[in-house]
Structure 1
């Protein structure tokens, strides 16, 4: 879906936001962050290149006029247009794909990842990559590569079905390479992973600097997600190898990396990012938009706000609440937030768990709320139970509203909370319940924590500071001298230059 929106203004700085599954087609913390940047910089021109599911997702945010266009890049809808290569072009692409696959599976050949990727990017621009990956030749190449002697994956005896499955997953993951890459200004990827692919292509073809912001650690979340994915180990090894090497290439090529917390920075440095190219920029909120929430509810209540998703680990929260209710029979748990398409089975599982534990009457799924402040005001204590986070908006919004919090120790949570809330290990219902009971049992402490939390937001995590930082980055990057953007490629491999 291509939405032409505004008109480019001569002389205005230009930013292309690269998103995946978020802005402007869905709600959630990252989408809020994107909207804050866009709304806060009316003097800049924005385009949005959004990796989506089918390409038919509606735009759910009101976009200002300085958003020039929105281009949706579907990963699971109709494949990109084009036809399979022939002759010399086919041989060149097949050779590049073989090097690419070898890099994913052989630790001694990882330096072939980038040359293979950029050659495939050129094929994607020519409309030949997706048809090639949907053909028998690509499957045969993979079957040959991962059955080579000496590769660990060979010991798992990968099957033809594995080869078909893995090739299909790679074909979908590489579809963003077929999108028109950014041609000027700054390309700002607001997550790692496949959203970065058009940015890497824009850097290689048009020397557009790449800015990378990771809210959560994309690679870590892929590791977590693939633990329970319905694929055999050879498929998982290949796909996770792709995400790992893509992360490393993104870190190497980014002109600047702006993690939302120090925890992400450690992952990025481990992945090969130059520490000098990393600048931590915390998320921010407008304290006037999230004023003190006022009196607590009359009934002891735990509230939660977010997207109903396995990564939010509502099952641990429900189990913790069962332990709380064993001590405080009148306690309530109120869960605010929408369920994304495809997430209904997870919500149903959570509802079934509450019923199984005997607390269906006290656990309510409230759905999306018109004003998120109401979700925070609904709780005596605001909870966060995620197994992975960056620097969560729901947490600093609740803090700005003056509510005491109990959160899991993931991502930048401890950096956000400081000593103004309680932090517990993830996936530990007993520790979470103990912390909630500790605060529910001490109104004076809850009040003091809430006041300190709001002051901490005002002093350190304001929206104005975030916007001013990114405006200076957007204006600075295009004028920087940059090193060569793409590695040298073997003769005949093709290039993205020009």
Structure 2
């Protein structure tokens, strides 16, 4: 743990990282990436505003001395202290909230979103927003907006229960607005979504440059998650409207956007980002830390590494493995990685599926592994079955270890693999099984692919390249932004005024 009374380095550049559900309280690819950044730049002064679940999460990473103790913003912890405002201030807040809700629900009022969001942010910093959104009046405001006959959602007949549910979800989602925004240096949001909220406020109030890095596409993952969520359509519509407009506000406001792959750029440009402000920066690994894995296992084995989560689609992988085992009866599937809190039901569902298909004896959940290289070495081929990814570390780490891979064609996977692995459509167990069988039956091809994969990492995806790129970006933004800054500032203001909308 760093010393909470540590004095920042004199003259050191200050970077505030904005995270959600990742560094420094969780493991996973984005957390690894954050740790790489801070470890690689000991001459920078790092601060972290971390959006967490309950606020009771322990640190999962040992923070170096140039990283200050994180400021946590728990979404689902105890209700924030404070009392709802009264009188004129209450009327002002509820009027702003009504404009905010109207922007989410009325396509003709979307241009009001940014201004309304910042009005709510002012109340949040004063400790008034969360208590106000827990009142009956906040529910009544939403019910009244929903009741307008001209809105698309009106046909879905929202109920009082819908209004209570949606208001509660919005109250929790807006809690990051209450965090003290950064006032100096550079603000670096390491994903889109709720983590960006303090950065948007810091940009508006103090002119702190905002850098956005998207590994996956936050908005796309919200669409995927809410599709099977337990809420009725009026609630889903409201929340997805919030996430969409928040993404667009972020894309328009950010001084620079550095997606982890070219695929993300399509979403960012569609969301309003200026193409001139988008620079792809790939994740990198240290090839010396992930050397060639050595001999393959004696028993035909497929390995997988990651967190046990629906977005990783282990059910498709297990179904594909069942097809593989029809052809290679002694095959094994080893799954390495922890189960996040709240994800136990998904793991149990996957275990039940393996048993239902008759392969419980050959599908092993290994849990978190002390050395991730052991997970890659455990397989003749390494699998990735996700339905959404950015530029996955597990893939380039496995490639650096010289293992052939079978991956789903999502995010930046194809950019990472090139022709050194097999890429199949997501959610298609038959295609995944065919690819796995191709590799398991052809040891010479596996070995050649593994050698080519490691060479590809060394040539294109090293950690040193990633660190050097972000060091340059931090310095550039701290010194006054991008070369196109003046023209793009005017461009943003025109968009805000509606000239280009």
The TM-score normalised by the length of structure 1 is: 0.96
Task: Indicate whether 1:237 and 2:241 are aligned.
Answer: no
Q: Is the alpha carbon distance of 1:451 and 1:122 closer, same or farther for their aligned partners in structure 2, counting shifts above 3 Å?
A: same
Deviation, 1:334, is: 0.2
1:388 alignment counterpart: 388
Deviation, 1:93, is: 1.0
Deviation, 1:489, is: 11
Within 5 Å, give how 1:95-494 maps onto structure 2. 95-480=95-480, 483=489
Kept in 2: contact 1:6–1:67 (CA 8 A): no
For the residues of structure 2 that align with 1:489 and 1:477, how far apart are their CA atoms?
A: 22
- 1:364-408 deviation per Cα after TM superposition (whole angstroms, max 9, x unaligned): 000000100000000000000000000000000000000000000
Kept in 1: contact 2:400–2:453 (CA 8 A): yes
Within 5 Å, give how 1:44-83 maps onto structure 2. 44-83=44-83
Partner-residue secondary structure (3-state), 1:302? strand
Q: Is the alpha carbon distance of 1:109 and 1:3 closer, same or farther for their aligned partners in structure 2, counting shifts above 3 Å?
A: farther
Deviation, 1:90, is: 1.2
Within 5 Å, give how 1:24-43 maps onto structure 2. 24-43=24-43
Deviation, 1:487, is: 10
Relative contact order higher in (CA < 8 Å, ≥ 6 apart)? 1
Kept in 2: contact 1:20–1:50 (CA 8 A): yes
Deviation, 1:81, is: 2.4
The TM-score normalised by the length of structure 2 is: 0.96
Partner-residue secondary structure (3-state), 2:433? helix
Kept in 2: contact 1:7–1:66 (CA 8 A): no
Kept in 1: contact 2:3–2:65 (CA 8 A): no
For the residues of structure 2 that align with 1:398 and 1:92, how far apart are their CA atoms?
A: 55
- 1:50-75 deviation per Cα after TM superposition (whole angstroms, max 9, x unaligned): 00001010001011000022111100
Deviation, 1:419, is: 0.1
Deviation, 1:299, is: 0.6
For the residues of structure 1 that align with 2:495 and 2:59, how far apart are their CA atoms?
A: 40
1:494 alignment counterpart: none
For the residues of structure 1 that align with 2:42 and 2:241, how far apart are their CA atoms?
A: 40
Kept in 2: contact 1:118–1:486 (CA 8 A): no
Number of aligned residue pairs:
489
Q: Is the alpha carbon distance of 1:366 and 1:401 closer, same or farther for their aligned partners in structure 2, counting shifts above 3 Å?
A: same
For the residues of structure 2 that align with 1:180 and 1:488, how far apart are their CA atoms?
A: 27
For the residues of structure 2 that align with 1:3 and 1:487, how far apart are their CA atoms?
A: 46
Q: Is the alpha carbon distance of 1:388 and 1:40 closer, same or farther for their aligned partners in structure 2, counting shifts above 3 Å?
A: same
For the residues of structure 1 that align with 2:29 and 2:15, how far apart are their CA atoms?
A: 20
Partner-residue secondary structure (3-state), 1:188? strand
For the residues of structure 1 that align with 2:496 and 2:175, how far apart are their CA atoms?
A: 22
Kept in 1: contact 2:24–2:59 (CA 8 A): yes
For the residues of structure 2 that align with 1:280 and 1:286, how far apart are their CA atoms?
A: 19
Please, what is the CA RMSD of the aligned residues?
1.6
Deviation, 1:488, is: 12
For the residues of structure 2 that align with 1:38 and 1:253, how far apart are their CA atoms?
A: 25
Kept in 1: contact 2:82–2:128 (CA 8 A): yes
1:7 alignment counterpart: 7
- 1:413-443 deviation per Cα after TM superposition (whole angstroms, max 9, x unaligned): 0000000000000000000000000011100
For the residues of structure 2 that align with 1:19 and 1:412, how far apart are their CA atoms?
A: 21
Q: Is the alpha carbon distance of 1:442 and 1:146 closer, same or farther for their aligned partners in structure 2, counting shifts above 3 Å?
A: same
For the residues of structure 1 that align with 2:251 and 2:361, how far apart are their CA atoms?
A: 48
Partner-residue secondary structure (3-state), 1:285? coil
Deviation, 1:82, is: 2.1
- 1:101-139 deviation per Cα after TM superposition (whole angstroms, max 9, x unaligned): 001001111001111100000000111110111111111
For the residues of structure 2 that align with 1:489 and 1:276, how far apart are their CA atoms?
A: 18
Partner-residue secondary structure (3-state), 2:187? strand
Partner-residue secondary structure (3-state), 1:11? coil
1:496 alignment counterpart: none
Partner-residue secondary structure (3-state), 1:426? coil
For the residues of structure 2 that align with 1:327 and 1:4, how far apart are their CA atoms?
A: 58
Q: Is the alpha carbon distance of 1:3 and 1:227 closer, same or farther for their aligned partners in structure 2, counting shifts above 3 Å?
A: farther
- 1:278-304 deviation per Cα after TM superposition (whole angstroms, max 9, x unaligned): 000000000000000001000110000
Deviation, 1:7, is: 2.4
Q: Is the alpha carbon distance of 1:92 and 1:368 closer, same or farther for their aligned partners in structure 2, counting shifts above 3 Å?
A: same
For the residues of structure 2 that align with 1:326 and 1:297, how far apart are their CA atoms?
A: 20
Deviation, 1:206, is: 1.1
1:495 alignment counterpart: none
Divergent runs of 4+, >3 A: 481-490
Q: Is the alpha carbon distance of 1:3 and 1:104 closer, same or farther for their aligned partners in structure 2, counting shifts above 3 Å?
A: farther
Q: Is the alpha carbon distance of 1:379 and 1:140 closer, same or farther for their aligned partners in structure 2, counting shifts above 3 Å?
A: same
Partner-residue secondary structure (3-state), 1:427? coil
